[in-house]
Amino acid sequence: MVLSAPSGGGKTTIRDQLLRHDRRFRFSVTCTTRAARPGEVHGRDYYFVTPGAFERLRKAGKLLEWARVHGNLYGTPVSSVAGVLRKGLIPVMTIDVAGARSVKEIFPEAVTVFLLPPGLKTLVRRLRKRREPAANIRIRLETAKKEIKEASFFEYLVINDKLDEAVRDIREIADIECMKISRKQAEIKRFGRELLEFKI
């Protein structure tokens, strides 16, 4: 489950609620060269790495995708996603729009969701609430102009107005996606095998 949004769109908030309320989901931790913000924990929020270590991971093919966002490098370790999938859980990836495109190319079975606040005023208010300096807000809104042009690439749009409703929407998307025939091949094969072996 790939969640993307302009900065301030609510990726982190929605992800935290989703993980709290639905045990099917597990966050696939990504790595970044940016400094940890107060309260962020290495291994929980991000793997905070040096630019050198990031480069080594990238060259060794250990990143599923990577991108430069607002001057810092970010990348999804293959091991993070594989570890969650191995447990039979749904990896939740909160990555930028370019990253979402890369993941979808590599993993066509990924589900891509674009989050938007109900309006621009709300987005700006939420960015201010996060105490972003004015310069940061300006940069993030400039980036948002490019990101919004990519919205039609995503399969689902969720409006992040009321938090609990946005979280419910994402859980419903997972419910529907899990029922798709393309994700049910193992069950169908098992039923077919039982039918072949069945004797009245």
Q: Is residue 13 involved in binding ligand ADP (CB under 6 A)?
A: yes
Distance between CA atoms of residues 93 and 11, nearest Å: 9
Q: Is residue 95 involved in binding ligand 5GP (CB under 6 A)?
A: yes
Q: Is residue 136 involved in binding ligand ADP (CB under 6 A)?
A: no
C-beta of 168: minimal distance to ligand 5GP in Å?
Answer: 22
C-beta of 113: minimal distance to ligand ADP in Å?
Answer: 12
Q: Identify the residue among 1, 2, 11, 98 touching ligand ADP (CB under 6 A).
A: 11
| CB nearer ligand 5GP, residue 99 or residue 117 | 99
Residue 115 sits at the vertex; the CA angle it makes with 114 and 121, to the nearest 5 degrees, is 135
Q: Is residue 34 involved in binding ligand ADP (CB under 6 A)?
A: no
Task: List C-alpha distances in Å: 146 to 38, 59, 96, 111, 140.
Answer: 29, 28, 11, 21, 10
Residue 163 touches which of ligand ADP, ligand 5GP, none (CB < 5 to 8 A by kind)? ligand ADP
Going across the sheet that includes 25-27, the strands are 25-27, 90-94, 2-4, 112-116, 156-159
Which range touches ligand 5GP (CB under 6 A), out of 91-99, 129-137, 171-179, 183-191?
91-99
Place of tokens 């400039």: 142
SS3 at position 149: helix
Q: Identify the residue among 67, 113, 123, 170 touching ligand 5GP (CB under 6 A).
A: 67
Q: Identify the residue among 14, 25, 30, 115 touching ligand 5GP (CB under 6 A).
A: 30
Return the H-helix or E-strand segment holding 147: helix 134-149
Q: Is residue 30 involved in binding ligand ADP (CB under 6 A)?
A: no
Q: Is residue 9 involved in binding ligand ADP (CB under 6 A)?
A: yes
Question: Exposed (0-12), middle (13-18) or buried (19+): which is 190, by Cβ within 10 Å?
Answer: exposed
Question: Exposed (0-12), middle (13-18) or buried (19+): which is 124, by Cβ within 10 Å?
Answer: middle
Rg (the chain; Cα; Å): 19
Positions in 4-23 near ligand 5GP (CB under 6 A): 7, 11
Q: Is residue 157 involved in binding ligand ADP (CB under 6 A)?
A: no
In the complex, the residues that contact ligand 5GP under the rule CB under 6 A are 7, 11, 30, 34, 65, 67, 69, 74-76, 94-96, 98-99
